Amino acid sequence: MNATMRRNGYRADALIETLHTIQESFGFLDDVSLRFVADALRVAPSQVYGVATFYHFFNLKPQGKHVCSVCTGTACYIKGAGKILDAIKEQHGIEPGQTTPDGELSLLTVRCVGACGLAPAVVFDGQVIGNQDVEQTQARIEGWISHANS
Amino acid sequence: MAVRSRIKTLKIDGRDVSAHEDETILQIAEENGIFIPTLCRIEGLSLIGACRLCLIEVKGWNRLVPACHTHAEEGMEVFTDTERLRNYRRMIIELLFSEGNHVCAVCVSNGNCELQYLAQRLGMDHVRFPNMQPVRKVDMTHERFVLDRNRCVLCARCIRVCDEIEGAHTWDMRGRGIDARVITDLDIPWGDSETCTSCGKCVNVCPVGAIVEKGRAVGEMTKRKDFLVYLSKMREAKK
Ligand code: SF4
Ligand code: SF4
Ligand code: FES
Ligand code: FES
């Protein structure tokens, strides 16, 4: 993270890249790192926070071991992303942006992952899988979790 | 050799007007006593073209353009008050009303609110969209000021004045779309902010009752905006 900032000459427009590096290293952005970046790049804390929350890519909370991110872009939404999302919410008792208490699963939503032809698409641990329905999605998540418990 | 003139002549609503090429249609209209509604624009701060209330039609152009951001061109024919524009403007105001909580009868800014003024001036008699009944956080932690996000129209004036004039950049916008909210520092309570100098500039530029002084009764909150033009001129002169 220091290297990223140095490479960019501590310019304020290095903000996104720096946040990127932090997230890669720690999985999420906590207040301490946001403050640190604001200070080092001389950007106001609120501005750093604004950027970090504008892009769905950044997480401000620690992520679970597995991350399931349901595309709610227009195409996927029309093709039933809402149902998939509702099923996961109900099954695991979490809202988008939350992680199960056992730290196994984080649920996220994204707006279009560029796989509209395969709608509805779900991203499982970074891998985009198209043509999903409620059963398939549930099965994949069950696979993760039962694996963890065995 | 033709010298390019810096003075442009154009027509606004059928009226011949002339203007310097640096001037925006909005400025020219105002100089000529032609009303164009605005909300995000405030003299003395940068332009962001966010509210879209100042949209105008230009003959031969397909798109509607914001008057606050469009410069004069030779021979341009501008229309500021067509049926189409009136419709869009009313719709924008209605959407703002439906998205937030704007019950004027209980608001400290009642009678001194730019949104209320626009609604009256643009003839909004009812809101066609269901109210979204937002439950957004109200921040009472600052010792002198209150922020009620339910009344915020996201014009970003507070953000700009705090950044551009005060130099503190306490405010910014979190999230996007329907989830967008104004925040102080890392979305902490305003009263805990380390950057806020309590100068009160954001209170004065906020067009609605979203940022107000504490302890005001209904309709009691008046704001002064004249300081802004003065301060921005003084800053400019120092550069
Ligand atoms: S009171 Fe002044 S410093 Fe504090 S947030 Fe408002 S404009 Fe910024
Ligand atoms: S708090 Fe007031 S000034 Fe700030 S964005 Fe909302 S409406 Fe505009
Ligand atoms: S809308 Fe889901 S991939 Fe485009
Ligand atoms: S005043 Fe022009 S877009 Fe808001």
pLDDT tens digit string along B92-111?
A: 999 999 999 999 999 999 99
Q: Where in the sequence of chain B do the CATH 3.30.70.20 domains occur?
A: 95-238
- Number of alpha carbons in the 13 Å side-chain half-sphere of residue A117: 0
Nearest CA-CA distance, residue A60 and chain B, Å: 11
Q: Which of residues 3-42 of A touch B (CB under 8 A)?
A: 31, 34-35
The Å distance, Cα B89 to ligand 4 centre, comes to 11
Q: Is A93 exposed, middle or buried (0-12, 13-18, 19+ CB in 10 A)?
A: exposed
B187: Cβ contacts below 8 Å, ≥ 6 apart: A49, B174
Model confidence at A6: pLDDT above 80: no
The topology under which CATH files domain B95-238 is Alpha-Beta Plaits (3.30.70)
Domain residue ranges of chain A, discontinuous segments joined by +: 2-54, 66-148
The topology under which CATH files domain B7-81 is Ubiquitin-like (UB roll) (3.10.20)
pLDDT confidence of residue A11: 66
pLDDT tens digit string along B33-73?
A: 999 999 999 999 999 999 999 999 999 999 999 999 999 99
Residue with tokens 């099965």: A139
Who has greater pLDDT, B77 or A60?
Answer: B77
ipTM of the complex: 0.82
Residues of A in contact with B173 (CB under 8 A): 50, 54
Helices first, then strands: H and E counts in chain A: 7, 4
| Global pTM value | 0.80
Q: Where in the sequence of chain B do the CATH 3.10.20.740 domains occur?
A: 7-81
pLDDT confidence of residue B72: 93
CB-nearest partner of A46 from B175, B176, B185: B185
Model confidence at A112: pLDDT above 80: yes
Radius of gyration of chain A, Cα coordinates, nearest whole angstrom = 17
Among all residues of chain A, which has the CA nearest to that of B177?
A: A54
Spell out where chain B has E strands. Answer: 7-12, 15-20, 55-58, 65-66, 77-79, 138-139, 145-148, 171-174, 181-184, 211-213
pLDDT > 70: percent of chain A = 91
Torsion of CA A71, A74, A80, A86, to 10 degrees: 50
pLDDT confidence of residue A56: 82
**How high does pLDDT run on average in chain A?**
87
Tally of CB atoms within 10 A around B221? 22
Who has greater pLDDT, B127 or B5?
Answer: B127
**Does the beta carbon of B51 lie inside 6 Å of ligand 4?**
yes
pLDDT > 90: percent of chain A = 52
B192 touches chain A (CB under 8 A): no
pLDDT confidence of residue B55: 97
> Quick one: average pLDDT of A47-75?
89
Model confidence at B147: pLDDT above 70: yes
In the CATH scheme, what architecture does the domain A66-148 have? 3-Layer(aba) Sandwich (3.40)
Identify the CA nearest to B127 among candidates B136, B115, B135, B109. B115
Please give the structure tokens belonging to residue A112. 């279009």
pLDDT confidence of residue A62: 78
Model confidence at A28: pLDDT above 90: no
Q: Distance between CA A118 and CA A123 in Å, rounded? A: 12
Least confident of A5-19, A41-55, A129-143: A5-19
**Does the beta carbon of B156 lie inside 6 Å of ligand 4?**
no
The Å distance, Cα B156 to ligand 2 centre, comes to 5
